Structure 1
Amino acid sequence: MTSQSQPRRAFWPTLPHWSWFVLLGLVLGYWLLMAWLERVNAHLLLAHYLMPELTPFQAQATDFSPLVLLMVRLLHPRVLRHVIPLLVGWWLAGQASISLIQVLYNTADRRAAAEFLRRQHSGRVAYWDVSSDVSPEKLAKERDGSIFLSAGGPTWVRIPDGYIGVTEHNARFQRVLPPGDHILQRFERLADMIDSRLRKSTGRALVLTKEGLPVLADISLTFSLAPGEESAAARSFTFDESAVKQAAYSDVIGANGKASSWVDVPLNMARAKLAEEVSRQTMDDIFTPATEANMIVQTINNVEKLLWKDLPEKQIQPKTLDIRLSPPKEVSHQYREGWEARRPREDAPPRPGETAARAQDAANARDEATSEMLQAFLSGIHGGKQESGDTLSDYQIAIHLLGALREVTESSRNTLSGMGNDGSAQEILSRIDSAGVRLADLESRLQLPSAKFVPSRPD
C-alpha cells in the first residue's frame, strides 16, 4: 500500500448499516400487524376521554385526525403487550452479548465492550475517533488494555515512522501496514510490528579450534530487512512485503525457553559460520605472530562471504561485519614466553661482561671492511694502468672503480647468504641486490664507444 492509497477519514462513517433498516422495518411491520389484529376502536377511546357526553354512535361518527387514530391504535395496551416483550428481549439480548464479550475478551470496561459490539454491528468507525498510537515496545501492554487491538477492529491505528505493522484475521495473515493511519476491519488485529530501520547486533561467542582449544570472539553486525523493488519516488518508504511477513512469523522458542525473533538470526548465523571456520584451523595457525594478521583477516572474510550469501535467502540484507578474536589468557602467556625465547641473541640485552667484547668485534669488522674496500679500489686502479699504460684518464678510473664496487657488493652478498634466513640479513641482501643493479646500469652507461669517433669536416 502506497502513501497515496492511505485511508481517508470520511465525514459520515457512522451511518447505520442496511441491516438496521431491515430490522427496523420488520419491527414496524410486526407492530402494525398486531394493531390490525387487535382491532382497537380509536374513535370510542378518544371520545370517551375527550367528549364523554357523546353516545357511542355519535363518537363513532366523530372525525379525528388519521395520524392521531393510528398512534392510539399502536400505543394501546392490547397492542403494546405484543411489542414490549420483543423490545425487552432485544435489549436483554444486547446486554447478554456485552456480558459475553466481557467474558470472552477479558474486558473490565463494560462501555468498551458495548462500543465493540456496536462497531461489529455497523462495521464502521467514526472519523473523530482517536487513533491508537502503538509502538513495538508497548504493543503487548496496549493490546491487553484495548479490546480493539486484542480482538480486532473496526478502529484507527497509527504506525510510527520506521516500523511496519502486520495484521491477522482469524489467526491468519491478513496484510502489511506501512507507517501512517489505518483502519482495522472487523476482527482484524495488529499481530506484530517490524522495525525496518538499520539494526545492530553485538554479542560474544566461544568457538573451538581444530585441537579443541577455546577462542573468544566479539561479533558486531549491522543489517536490515530486504528493501522492496519499488522506488522511493513512488512512496516514501521501501520494504519487501514477503520479507516483513517472514520476519513477523520467524519467532522460535529455544532450548533455554527464551523466544528469539528475526533480529537474532544474523548474529546466530555469524556465530555458526565463525565456529565452522575456526574449527578448521589450529591455535598456532591463527595466533602465530608471523601469520596472525593474515589468518584473522582471511577468517573474517570467509565468514563475511558466507553471511552475504545466506542472509539474503532469509530476506535480510547485511551491511557490515566486525569480528575480533582473542585467545585465552593462558594461551597468550605461553605465546609471549615462546616469542621471548625465540628472539635472536643479538637482540637480547647484553650482559655486563659482553659489552667490551662486542665493541671490539664491531671495530674489527669495520676495519676489515674498510681494508677490503681500499684493496678493491687499488687493485682496480692498478689493473687500469696495466691496460692503458701511463695515459690513464679520469673516465677509465671511474670505470674501474665501478667494477671494484661491484666486487665489494658481490663479496658482501656471498657473506650474508651464509648467515641463514634471518630477517635482518634478508633485508640487507635485498638492499645489496638493488645497489648491484644500479652499479651495473651505471657501468653500462660509462662504457667506451665501440666505434672510433671521427669529427665531421667543415663544408
Structure 2
Amino acid sequence: MRGKRKIMSRNSSELLIEPLIKRSAFLAGMLVMIFMYWAFAHFIENINLLDTLNAVWHAQFPHVPSLPHELVTLIELFHPRVLRHFIPVITGWFIAYLAAVSLVRVLYDLPDNAFARRFLNRIVTGSTSGAKPVITTSSTLESQRSDSVLLRVGGPGTLIIPDGEVAVTEINGRYYRLLIPGKHKLIPFEYIYTQISLRTQERQITAVPLVTKDAINLTADLSVTYHIDRGGILPTLTQPYPFDEEAVKRAAYTRVNNGSGQATTWLDTPVNTAQGILRGIISNYNLDELLHPAGGAREPHYIISQDLKRKANRALKEIGVELESIRIGRLELPEAAAKQYIDHWQANLDAQIQLALAEGKASSWEEVEMARAEAEVAMIQAIAEGLEKARLAGSAHTMRDVIALRLIEALEKMARQSQSLEQLPQELLAQIDYIRSGISLTQQLPASHDED
C-alpha cells in the first residue's frame, strides 16, 4: 500500500523493511533534478557559442564540416557563466552537510565531528565496510553503549550475539525483530533495545522484613532460581537454550521505575515478586503458629514454601519467566523484636497466672465459708446434745458445764477444719485446750459419741 512501509520476511530470524523510496530511484531523481537545474542555468544565461566555435574549428580544419549543434550545446553547459550557478548549490550542500554532522554529533552525543561524519556517511550510504563487528552480552550491553554508536544509536552495522542469549531490536521505538545467537547485520537505525540471557538465573536477598498477624517483626533470607519460559521445550545438545519468543518479548518489556530514577528489569522482578507474596503469607500467621505449631499440625515452613512457590510461579508466568525453585531461610527475630516477643509472652503468662490465682483464691474462700457453715451446724448440734444430756442428768450446774464443754469442742472442730485452708495462729488451739481443762464438771457425763 502506498505511503506505508512493508515488512518482508527473509527467514525465521531476519526481517527487512522495504524503504519508502529505493536508493537507486533516489539517486536517479537527484541526477534528473541536477540536469534540469543545469539546463535552466544555460537557458537564463542565453549563451550562443555556435558561430564562435565553428570559426575556430574552420580555422584549424578548413575542409571539415561544422560542429554539430548538440556538441556545441554540451560545450555551452560548461561555460563559466553557467557553472557559476552551481556555486550556491555546492556551498549550500556543504553547509547542509556540516550542519547535519553537527546535529548528529549533538543529537547522539558523539565524541567529535570526525566520528559523526563516519556515522553519517554510514547512514547515507548504508555501507558497513571497515567497521568491526560489535560483540555484546546481556551484562555488558548498557556499559558498551557509551563507547559504541551502533549500540547507542543503531545500525547500519554488524552485531554478534553470543550463545545462550538473544537480543530484541526496535525501529522508531517499536519492536522489530529478535536476534538469535550469531552474526547479524543491522539496518539503519535498528536499535538494540535489550539483550536477554537464556541461562538459569539465581537471585538471593537477605533479611527480608516480615510482619506476623500479631504485629511481630521477623526476617528471613530468600533465594529464587528461574529462567526465561521455554514453552515446554526441553534442552538438547543441539539446542541447549530453548525459548518461547513471546516470553522473551514480555520479559524484555518488563521494566518498572523503582522511584529512584532507575528501572528494574525482568531479572529483578522474580525476587521482588516473591518478597511481596511472602509478606502477604506471613501476615496471616501468628508468631506462635510459626515457631510452635499446635500438635498434629504440619510444619508451617513447608506449607509457606509450597504456597509461595505456587503463587510466585503463577505471577511470573505473566512476564515470560518460569520459576525453577524458591527457598526460604530460617525465620529469625531481630534483637528488638525478640525482646518485644518476650515481653508480649511474659505479659500473657502473667495474665494467665493472675487469672489462675484469682480462680484459686475464689475457690479457697468458698471452701472456707462452707467449712464455717458446717462448723456452725456442728456447734449447734453439740449444744443441743449437751442440753439434752444435762436435762437427763437433772443438774443446772452440770447443764452449764456441758454447754460450755460442747461449745469448746465445736470451736476446736471448726478451727481444725479451717486449718487445712488457712494458716491459723499457733496459740489458738492451745488456748482452746486451756479453756477445756479449766472447766470442772460436777457430774460425770457419759462419753460423747459424735465424731470430731
Equivalence for 1:174:
176
In the alignment, is the contact (CA less than 8 A) between 1:42 and 1:72 conserved in 2? Answer: no
Note closer, same or farther for the CA distance 1:29–1:313 as it changes in structure 2 (3 Å cut): closer
In the alignment, is the contact (CA less than 8 A) between 1:196 and 1:225 conserved in 2? Answer: yes
Equivalence for 1:454:
none
SS in 1 for 2:330: strand
Equivalence for 2:158:
156
Q: TM-score, normalised by structure 1?
A: 0.60
Equivalence for 2:224:
221
Q: Deviations over 1:382-434 (max 9, x none)?
A: xxxxxxxxxxxxxxxxxxxxxxxxxxxxxxxxxxxxxxxxxxxxxxxxxxxxx
Aligned pairs for 1:296-307 (under 5 A) are 296-307=301-312
CA distance in 2, matches of 1:308, 1:138: 28
1:197 pairs, out of 196, 199, 202, with 199
CA distance in 2, matches of 1:146, 1:42: 59
Aligned pairs for 1:134-283 (under 5 A) are 134-204=136-206, 205-228=208-231, 237-255=241-259, 258-283=262-287
Q: CA deviation at 1:321?
A: 1.4
Q: CA deviation at 1:224?
A: 0.8
SS in 2 for 1:19: helix
Q: CA deviation at 1:215?
A: 2.2
Note closer, same or farther for the CA distance 1:20–1:263 as it changes in structure 2 (3 Å cut): same
CA distance in 2, matches of 1:166, 1:46: 69
CA distance in 2, matches of 1:142, 1:167: 16
In the alignment, is the contact (CA less than 8 A) between 2:13 and 2:180 conserved in 1? Answer: no
Q: CA deviation at 1:137?
A: 3.3
Note closer, same or farther for the CA distance 1:232–1:29 as it changes in structure 2 (3 Å cut): farther
SS in 2 for 1:273: helix
In the alignment, is the contact (CA less than 8 A) between 2:54 and 2:66 conserved in 1? Answer: no
Letter matched to residue 327 of structure 2: D
Letter matched to residue 192 of structure 1: T
CA distance in 1, matches of 2:167, 2:30: 37
- Asked whether 1:95 is paired with 2:102, we answer no
Q: CA deviation at 1:19?
A: 0.8
Note closer, same or farther for the CA distance 1:125–1:293 as it changes in structure 2 (3 Å cut): farther
Q: CA deviation at 1:198?
A: 0.6
In the alignment, is the contact (CA less than 8 A) between 1:135 and 1:159 conserved in 2? Answer: yes
CA distance in 1, matches of 2:10, 2:289: 55
Q: CA deviation at 1:6?
A: 5.0
CA distance in 1, matches of 2:179, 2:299: 47
Equivalence for 1:388:
none
Gaps of 5+ in 2: 1-7, 16-21, 346-452
Note closer, same or farther for the CA distance 1:160–1:281 as it changes in structure 2 (3 Å cut): same
Letter matched to residue 260 of structure 1: T
Letter matched to residue 35 of structure 2: L
Task: Report the identity percentage.
Answer: 28
Letter matched to residue 118 of structure 1: N
Note closer, same or farther for the CA distance 1:45–1:144 as it changes in structure 2 (3 Å cut): farther
Q: CA deviation at 1:47?
A: 6.2
Equivalence for 2:321:
316
1:39 pairs, out of 26, 40, 47, with 47
Aligned pairs for 1:343-362 (under 5 A) are none
CA distance in 1, matches of 2:198, 2:98: 44
Q: CA deviation at 1:44?
A: 2.8
Note closer, same or farther for the CA distance 1:121–1:139 as it changes in structure 2 (3 Å cut): same
Equivalence for 1:18:
25
Gaps of 5+ in 1: 9-14, 339-459
SS in 1 for 2:268: helix
Q: TM-score, normalised by structure 2?
A: 0.60
2:117 pairs, out of 108, 111, 114, with 114
Note closer, same or farther for the CA distance 1:279–1:272 as it changes in structure 2 (3 Å cut): same
Q: Deviations over 1:345-387 (max 9, x none)?
A: xxxxxxxxxxxxxxxxxxxxxxxxxxxxxxxxxxxxxxxxxxx
Aligned pairs for 1:54-65 (under 5 A) are 54=59, 63=66
CA distance in 2, matches of 1:60, 1:87: 43
Coordinate RMSD, CA, aligned: 4.0
Letter matched to residue 172 of structure 2: N
Note closer, same or farther for the CA distance 1:2–1:236 as it changes in structure 2 (3 Å cut): farther
Q: Deviations over 1:144-184 (max 9, x none)?
A: 33333333322222222222212222223333222222233
SS in 1 for 2:224: strand
Letter matched to residue 41 of structure 1: L
Letter matched to residue 275 of structure 1: R
CA distance in 1, matches of 2:169, 2:63: 68
In the alignment, is the contact (CA less than 8 A) between 1:164 and 1:179 conserved in 2? Answer: yes
In the alignment, is the contact (CA less than 8 A) between 2:128 and 2:158 conserved in 1? Answer: no
Equivalence for 2:433:
none
